[in-house]
Copies of this chain bind each other. A is one copy, B any other.
Amino acid sequence: MTISQAVARTAKASAAKSDTPDQNSGARQILNATAWLLRHRGYEATTTRAIAERVGIKAGSIYHHFPSKDAIVERVINEGVLLVHKAVMSALDALPKKATPRDRLQAAIKAHLLSSLEHSDYTSASIRAFAFLPPELRKTCRVERRRYEDIWQQLMKDASEAGYIPKDVSLDAARLMLLGAVNWAGEWYRPGRVPIDKIATDFAQIAFGARRT
């Protein structure tokens, strides 16, 4: 699958979700509170009562907007993945046509880090809380996540063909190493210290060597 095909599929999947709550609607406030809790406390600690408290309502009222806790969580996780997905696609599209595969990789790393560390609790939640979701829920959310990771497979392929990855190295290993590095960043990154731009540049340089100018 090419990247433009991935975009088309993503747009389709996004359009298929009929109801997108306004920014200040009750449903959106519940989603925002859940995203924060998933990011900072994890799945089990994200209780309906904790969500309600952050919104300023009573726990029972949540069920006026959503059928279950897991429906809210699924929504948050999937929106999170989609946000990173779109951020990375936008960054790639904004690149000049003469951009090398290495430029594209670095732009993708930067966009992923920015969206998952700075821009949204949703994206961070989708990365951090995923591992210990209940099995069925994890399986459901894996679909959207896989769709996103396909982008990286294509980026790796292009980088490999351009000679940025040694021939005897598995592209899966390269992809998983890089995704590991950017996903794990949530465990140590603190705002206001090293700028994300510098982290992204360093990551790209370690993995793919100096920029070819």
Contact = CB atoms under 8 A, between A and B. Distances in A.
B174 A202 contact: yes
A199 to B, nearest CB: 6
Interface stretch (A22-30, A81-89, A182-190): A182-190
A182 B176 CA distance: 10
A184 B199 CA distance: 18
Contacts of A205: 166, 168-169
Given A42-B43, A183-B180, A194-B170, A207 B207 contact: yes
B44 A173 contact: no
B202 A173 contact: yes
A169 B203 CA distance: 8
A165 interface: yes
A172 interface: yes
Interface in A141-167: 165-166
Contacts of A44: 42-45
A210 interface: yes
Given A42-B42, A44-B44, A180-B180, A173 B131 contact: no
Contacts of A182: 180
Interface in A114-128: 128
A206 B166 contact: yes
Contacts of A168: 205
14 contacts: A42-B44, A45-B132, A128-B131, A130-B187, A170-B202, A173-B194, A174-B206, A176-B181, A176-B184, A178-B181, A179-B184, A180-B183, A181-B184, A206-B207
